[in-house]
Structure 1
Amino acid sequence: MSNPRPSAQARALYDFLWSLYGRKTLTGQQELGVARAGPRVELDYLARVTGRQPAILGLDYMDPRDNAAVNARATAWHRSGGIVTLCWHWGAPDVGTGYENSKKDFDLPAALKPGTPQNRALHRDLDAIADLLTVLRDRRVPVLWRPLHEFSGDWFWWGKHGPAAFKALWALMYDAFTRRRGLDNLIWVLGWAGQNVDPAWYPGRERVDVAGADIYVEDHGALEPMFRAVKAIVGDSVPICLHENGPIPDPALLGPQADWLWFMTWHTRWLMDPGQNDPARLEAYYGSGRYVTKDELLAAGLPKPG
C-alpha cells in the first residue's frame, strides 16, 4: 500500500483486492443518501430484483445532515461483512457544501498558498472530513477512499485549474490525512473522468492504491478502451476499478482487456431505470460467476470484520 503503516484491516482488504484482480469483479452500489431518500432505497431494490446485495456499498460525504448517518451506515455495512467506499462531493470551500457548490469555481492556486483565506477554508474542510474518517478508523472500518473524483473533467472545482494544481491538492490531502491525522484505514482510489484519461494528472504510485475511471455510456459494454487507457498509465502497479457507472458491464465481456476490479453503479435512476439496467439483466448479472456479491465475500477470501 502507499501508506507504509496501514491498519491491519486496511492491509487485509487490500490484499483481498489483489487476490481477486484479474479473476473476479466486485459488485458495487452507490446510495443516494439518508437525508434525501431515506436508507436502503437502492439496496432494497437490488434485494427485490436479484435476491442479492452488492459487495461494495458507496456512500458520500456531501450533505452535512447525512454525515453521521453515513458513518453509521459505513460501520454497519462493514460489520455485516461488506466493503465500504466513500467519496466526497466537496463544495467550494468559500461557498458552501453540496453537489451544486462542488461545481462552482474555487481559487485553488490561492488555496495552495499558506495563510490565504482560501487556504484556511480548505484546511477547515479537510479537518472536518478527517474528523469523520477518524470515527471510522477508531471503529476499525477500512475505507476505499476516492476523493476528488472525475478530476480530469472540468465540472468540479478541483479539476478546473489543471493537473499541476490538482496533484498538489491530492498530495496535500494525502499527507494531511495519512501523516498528520494518522488515517491508516484508507485505501486511496484515484478516478479519472473517462473522457480524459491523461497521465499528466497522475499523482504517483506513492499516493495511490487503486486507479480507475468512469463514463456514463448507454450500453453494457466492457469499456475496454478506458481500461486500457488507465492501464497504460499505472501498468500492473495498482488494480484498476470502474469507479462509477450507469449500465453494468456484461460480465461475459470482461477479461484481460477489461479486468475491472469492481463496478460502482450510481444511485436512483442509474440503477432502477430499465433503460439503464433492466431487471432481468440485473438479476442475471448479479448471479454471474464473474461478479462477487456480498454473500460471496467470505468464500472469496475476505477476512471477517474484527
Structure 2
Amino acid sequence: MLTRRDTITGMAGAAATLALPAQLGARPLESPAARTLSNPRASPEARRLYAYLWSLYRSKTLTGQQEQNFTPQGSRMELDYLQRVTGEQPALVGFDYIEPKDELAVNERATAWSRSGGIVSICWHWGAPDIGTGYENSKKDFDVAAALKPGTPANVAMMRDMDHIAGLLAVLRDRRVPVLWRPFHEFSGDWFWWGKHGPDALKALWALMYDRYTRVHRLDNLVWVLGWAGQNVDAAWYPGRETVDIAGADIYAKDHGNLAPMFAQVKAIVGDSVPICLHENGPVPDPALLGPKADWLWFMTWHTRWLTGRDQNTPELLKQYFASDRYVTKDELPAWLKA
C-alpha cells in the first residue's frame, strides 16, 4: 500500500524530469501548451516548480500561509502557531512587499524559506504611487489613465515604484529562488487603486508590468499568478494565457464548503490552460469536500486572526485538515525544491 509520503514522492520525481504523472490518476491535460510558462525564457527553477505544480493539480492541494511582520511575536507567528497546533509547516508561504522598511527582510525570509525546501509566493500591497507606501495608501485612488501615458508625473511615479520592486525580485532571481508572483491581487474588487478603474485599466497595468519585468528586467524566476476577488470573477478582467501561468480567486466567508461555484467561475474563463488556486482564504477548506469540482492547487490562509481566530479555524480542525491525504505540507515537498 502506498503511503501519503510515497504518493507525494512519486509526484516529485515525475516533476523533476518535467513529465506529468499519468500513473497517479490525474485526468489528462487537454493541451500540452498548458504545461509551459508564459515567459519563454523562464529559469530552470521556475520551469521545474511549474512542472511540479502541474503534477499535483487535480489530485493534491498545497497548504499555504501568509505571514505578517507587525505583531510582537514577529513574522514567524503564523508558522509557529501552525507548528504547535498541527505539528506541520505549510508547503507555501506568502510574503508581501508592503513596507520599504521590511523589503530587504522579506527577501531574506523568502530566501531562507526557499533554501529550506518551501515554496515562495509574493504579493505587493502597492501604495498609490503619487501618495506613498502602505496598506491604507493601496486603497486610495490613483490616476491610472494618466499613469499609462509615458512621461506624465503619474507615469514617472508608477514606473519608479515598479522598477524598485523589480530590483528586489532580481535579488531572488540571482539567488535562484522561483517566486509565485501575485501582483494586483483582488483586482476585480474596487478597494485597491488598481481595481478602481475597470478591467481595461487593469489589463493594461498587467501587460505593462509583465513586459517590463520579463523583457527589460529579465525576471525569469517569476510564475505569474492572477487572483480575482471572489465576489466578482468576471472574464472581462482576464489578461490572457500569454501572460498568466496560474489563476485563482479568494474568499473569506465562513462555512464556505468546497467553494465549487467559485472554482467553476474561474474554470469557465481559463479552462484547463492553467492550474487554479485559492489564492487567499480565511477558513481552510475541508479537504474531504475537494475534488473534481473544487480542485484547488493550493490554499493560502491570511495572517493573524484569519488563521488563529476560532471563528475562522479551530485548532482541532486545523490539525485534522493538515493531516489529510489531500493536503501537501512542507515535509512532503521534493528535496530538489531547495534553492
TM-score normalised by structure 2 residue count: 0.88
Match of 1:296 in 2: 332
Letter in 2 for 1:276: Q
Match of 1:115 in 2: 151
Contact 1:35 1:65 in 2 (8 A): no
Counterpart CA distance in 2 for 1:35 and 1:250 is: 28
Task: Return the offset for 1:219.
Answer: 1.6
Task: Return the offset for 1:305.
Answer: 2.4
Task: Return the offset for 1:105.
Answer: 0.1
Residue of structure 1 aligned with 2:88, choices 52, 64, 69: 52
Q: Deviations over 1:56-111 (max 9, x none)?
A: 00000001111111000000000000000000000000000000000000000000
- Is structure 2 residue 202 aligned with structure 1 residue 202? no
After superposition, residues 1-306 of structure 1 pair within 5 angstroms as: 1-33=37-69, 38-298=74-334, 303-306=336-339
Counterpart CA distance in 2 for 1:244 and 1:279 is: 19
Letter in 1 for 2:97: Y
Counterpart CA distance in 1 for 2:158 and 2:51 is: 33
SS in 2 for 1:214: strand
Counterpart CA distance in 2 for 1:170 and 1:2 is: 13
Contact 1:34 1:66 in 2 (8 A): no
Counterpart CA distance in 1 for 2:274 and 2:184 is: 18
Counterpart CA distance in 2 for 1:198 and 1:159 is: 13
Contact 2:286 2:321 in 1 (8 A): yes
Counterpart CA distance in 1 for 2:54 and 2:141 is: 37
Contact 1:9 1:140 in 2 (8 A): yes
Contact 1:220 1:250 in 2 (8 A): no
Task: Return the offset for 1:11.
Answer: 0.4
Counterpart CA distance in 2 for 1:110 and 1:254 is: 44
User: Which shifted more, 217-226 or 122-131?
Assistant: 217-226
Task: Return the offset for 1:35.
Answer: 7.8
SS in 2 for 1:165: helix
The number of residue pairs the alignment matches comes to 303
Contact 2:233 2:266 in 1 (8 A): yes
SS in 2 for 1:275: coil
Contact 1:222 1:250 in 2 (8 A): yes
Task: Return the offset for 1:207.
Answer: 0.3
Task: Return the offset for 1:27.
Answer: 0.1
Contact 1:35 1:66 in 2 (8 A): no
Q: Deviations over 1:172-215 (max 9, x none)?
A: 00000001000000000000001100000000000000000001
Letter in 2 for 1:19: S
Task: Return the offset for 1:36.
Answer: 6.9
Task: Return the offset for 1:33.
Answer: 2.0
Contact 2:86 2:322 in 1 (8 A): yes
TM-score normalised by structure 1 residue count: 0.97
Counterpart CA distance in 2 for 1:35 and 1:257 is: 37
Name the CA shift for 1:230/1:36 in 2 (closer, same or farther; >3 Å): farther
Task: Return the offset for 1:37.
Answer: 5.2
Task: Return the offset for 1:304.
Answer: 3.6
Q: Deviations over 1:105-125 (max 9, x none)?
A: 000000000010000000000
Counterpart CA distance in 1 for 2:178 and 2:59 is: 23
Displaced runs of 4 or more, over 6 A: none
Letter in 2 for 1:26: L
Contact 1:191 1:243 in 2 (8 A): yes
